[in-house]
């Protein structure tokens, strides 16, 4: 993806402005292309246009090319000179393309490969450690949920409500029978009921909550509440068991709450460790991804056995356009002057040894530069960048910047629950209850009253429509056409200034007048201005 792709995409997102319609064939192709784009969208539309042999004929507002070949020519000083000059001129710049590739036989290929391998190894080492911690976090959350369920039984057993307390004690008794008493072997209550003929011992244990309850079940005196359900032998077996169970409740609850608190603190430290690992790992994997060689896979200039390197860079500069002072109009969307400078460099890399014995690389070669100007509104500019990003994703897998957020995203609800303090949980509950109460208040008189008192909520502003494809962009009105024409004129003048000053600063031949930047129509009629040419262009399209 380079300056050529930017040109084609500009012609697609803003065809009325940046598609070549100088002849009848061009206007015919534009109508056919716009119809396809509206029906199928940009991505599918471009494929269909290629199948139907409808050409993409981009036409920037202004365009220049510059090429020179020198054994001393290096891309780095050229790139930074233009970048600094554009930024100093008030343009907001961003890098659109950054591709490179070295021939396998060159020393730079070996050096870049070693650097990328080292970065990948370090990043994957950290990633492996982070994956182990993520597994640990999953186990901790599972344990904490189990602890919370068990602690709920203790809370129920301590409740003042008789039924809730009974339910809690029954649940704890079942836990005690299955996990504590069962270790006695044949002496366990379960085993005695199943093998030794104590058929009622398990039911009596579940019914009795104290030794007094056992005494009443053993007594036959109805006046004292006796029922005579059990004999002395069952009573003697269950008295120590009931006593042990009541002590187990106190000790186990205390230990379980202590462990719950410890594991909650440990969970918090593990989550922070995942975030820390992600911060450590991100520069390694991101740099390794940046060192991936791409962009010139089928280039005839890149021969395997030669010592050659190729670079492709594209920078974009934008400046907002203003509404002319004679229009009292507020724009609903901004308009921008856009300049795009593309660099394609083919260099011969040779290894050299300095006087100190250090190894280095000397580069010299050919630089092809393209200078293009465009006039785009905010919606077209957003769509342009979005589609260029999609093309870039299609070329190579993109590194996800925040792995920790992705790893913990599905666990967010559980983490928020366990890591928040009791005060924070209560505050959240209060807000949710208040929100629920407000939503349930459907009294029509309160709404009517709020209209007169002014206490009603202000209407929310409508969300801006997301620009996802060509058909989502509305055509320009009269004022917007004028502003776009001014943006085009400003972009053309700014581009020529960059082009002309660069040539003069580097001792190249340059013209004293701006004749190179003239549109053919303006060359025939020197008094005709850019905005008049663009207005006539719109009339042709109509």
Over residues 461-481, the pLDDT tens digits come to 455 567 777 777 888 888 888
pLDDT for the residue numbered 343:
93
159 & 239 share domain? yes
Residue 419 lies in a domain: no
In a domain, residue 69? The reply is yes
Cα(132)–Cα(215) distance, rounded to whole angstroms? 55
DSSP code of 79? Answer: H
Determine the angle formed by the axes of helices 378-395 and 24-51, rounding to 10 degrees.
Answer: 40
Do both 52 and 68 map to the same domain? no
Query: Do 92 and 165 share a structural domain?
Result: no
Mean pLDDT score of the chain: 79
Let me know whether 78 and 165 are in one domain.
no
Same domain assignment for residues 314 and 371: yes
Q: Based on the domain organization, do 341 and 315 belong to the same domain? A: yes
First-last CA distance in the chain? 32
* Whether 264 and 307 share a structural domain: no
- Check residue 237 and give its pLDDT: 87
- Give the mean pLDDT of 438-443: 53
For residues 267 and 329, membership in a common domain is answered with no
pLDDT number for residue 394: 44
Q: How many CB atoms lie within 10 A of CB 169?
A: 19
The 10s digit of each residue's pLDDT in 104-139 is 877 778 888 888 888 888 888 888 888 888 888 888
Of the chain, the percentage scoring pLDDT greater than 70 comes to: 77
User: For residue 307, is it within any domain?
Assistant: yes
Statement to judge: residues 394 and 512 lie in one domain: yes
Residue 324 located in a structural domain: yes
Q: Is residue 37 located within the same domain as residue 142? A: no
Residue 441 lies in a domain: no
What distance separates the 2 farthest-apart alpha carbons in the chain?
126
pLDDT at residue 19 above 90?
no
In a domain, 358, yes or no: yes
In angstroms, rounded to a whole number, what is the distance separating the alpha carbons of residues 310 and 348?
9
Q: Is the pLDDT of residue 92 over 90?
A: yes
- Structural domain that includes position 337: 3-7+60-103+302-409+471-541
Are the CB atoms for 73 and 366 separated by under 8 Å? yes
Scan for tokens 């060159």, then name that residue: 106
Q: Looking at 280, 312, 333, which one is the last position of a domain?
A: 280
- Give a yes or no: residue 454 inside a domain: no
One domain, residues 256 and 346: no
99 and 135 in a common domain: no
Indicate whether 403 belongs to any domain: yes
Q: Does pTM top 0.85 for this prediction? A: no
Distance between CA 13 and CA 469 in Å, rounded?
8
Q: How many domains does the chain have?
A: 3
Contact present, 318 and 92 (Cβ < 8 Å): yes
Write down the pLDDT at residue 425.
Answer: 63
Q: How far apart, in Å, are the Cα atoms of 396 and each of 43, 293, 295, 391, 412?
A: 17, 10, 11, 9, 30
Q: What is the pLDDT of residues 344-383, one digit of tens each?
A: 998 876 655 555 555 555 567 889 999 999 999 988 888 8
């Amino acid at each position: 993806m380079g300056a050529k792709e930017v040109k084609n995409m500009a012609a697609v997102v803003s065809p009325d402005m940046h598609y070549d319609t100088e002849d009848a064939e061009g206007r015919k192709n534009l109508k056919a292309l716009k119809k396809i784009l509206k029906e199928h969208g940009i991505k599918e539309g471009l494929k269909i246009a290629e199948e139907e042999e409808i050409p993409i004929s981009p036409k920037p507002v202004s365009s220049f090319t510059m090429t020179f070949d020198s054994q001393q020519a290096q891309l780095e000083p050229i790139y930074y000179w233009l970048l600094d000059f554009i930024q100093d001129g008030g343009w907001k710049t961003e890098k659109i393309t950054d591709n490179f590739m070295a021939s396998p036989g060159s020393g730079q290929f070996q050096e870049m490969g070693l650097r990328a391998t080292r970065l990948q190894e370090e990043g994957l080492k950290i990633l492996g450690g982070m994956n182990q911690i993520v597994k640990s976090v999953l186990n901790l959350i599972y344990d904490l949920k189990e602890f919370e369920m068990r602690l709920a039984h203790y809370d129920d057993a301590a409740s003042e409500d008789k039924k809730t307390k009974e339910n809690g004690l029954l649940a704890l008794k079942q836990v005690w029978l299955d996990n504590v008493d069962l270790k006695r072997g044949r002496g366990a209550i379960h085993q005695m009921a199943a093998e030794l003929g104590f058929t009622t011992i398990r039911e009596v244990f579940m019914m009795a909550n104290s030794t007094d309850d056992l005494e009443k079940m053993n007594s036959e005196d109805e006046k004292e509440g006796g029922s005579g359900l059990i004999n002395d032998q069952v009573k003697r077996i269950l008295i120590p068991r009931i006593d042990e169970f009541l002590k187990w409740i106190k000790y186990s609850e205390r230990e379980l709450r202590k462990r719950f608190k410890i594991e909650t603190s440990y969970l918090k430290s593990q989550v922070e460790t995942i975030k820390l690992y992600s911060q450590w790992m991100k520069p390694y994997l991101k740099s390794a991804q940046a060192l991936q060689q791409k962009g010139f896979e089928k280039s005839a200039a890149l021969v395997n056995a030669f010592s050659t390197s190729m670079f492709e860079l594209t920078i974009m500069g934008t400046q907002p356009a203003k509404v002319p002072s004679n229009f009292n109009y507020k724009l609903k969307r901004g308009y921008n002057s856009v300049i795009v400078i593309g660099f394609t460099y083919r260099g011969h890399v040779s290894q050299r040894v300095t006087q100190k014995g250090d190894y280095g690389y000397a580069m010299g070669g050919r630089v092809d530069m393209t200078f293009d100007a465009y006039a785009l509104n905010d919606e077209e500019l957003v769509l342009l960048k979005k589609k260029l990003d999609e093309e870039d994703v299609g070329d190579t897998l993109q590194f996800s910047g925040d792995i920790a957020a992705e790893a913990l995203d599905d666990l967010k609800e559980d983490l928020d629950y366990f890591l928040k303090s009791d005060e924070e949980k209560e505050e959240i509950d209060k807000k949710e209850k208040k929100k629920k109460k407000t939503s349930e208040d459907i009294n029509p008189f309160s709404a009517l009253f709020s209209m007169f008192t002014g206490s009603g909520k202000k209407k929310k502003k409508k969300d801006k429509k997301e620009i996802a494809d060509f058909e989502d962009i509305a055509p320009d009105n009269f004022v917007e056409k004028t502003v776009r024409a001014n943006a085009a004129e400003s972009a053309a003048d700014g581009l020529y200034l960059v082009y002309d000053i660069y040539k003069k600063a580097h001792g190249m031949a340059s013209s004293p007048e701006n004749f190179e930047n003239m549109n053919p129509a303006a060359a025939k009629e020197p008094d005709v201005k850019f905005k008049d040419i663009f207005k006539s262009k719109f009339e042709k399209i109509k």
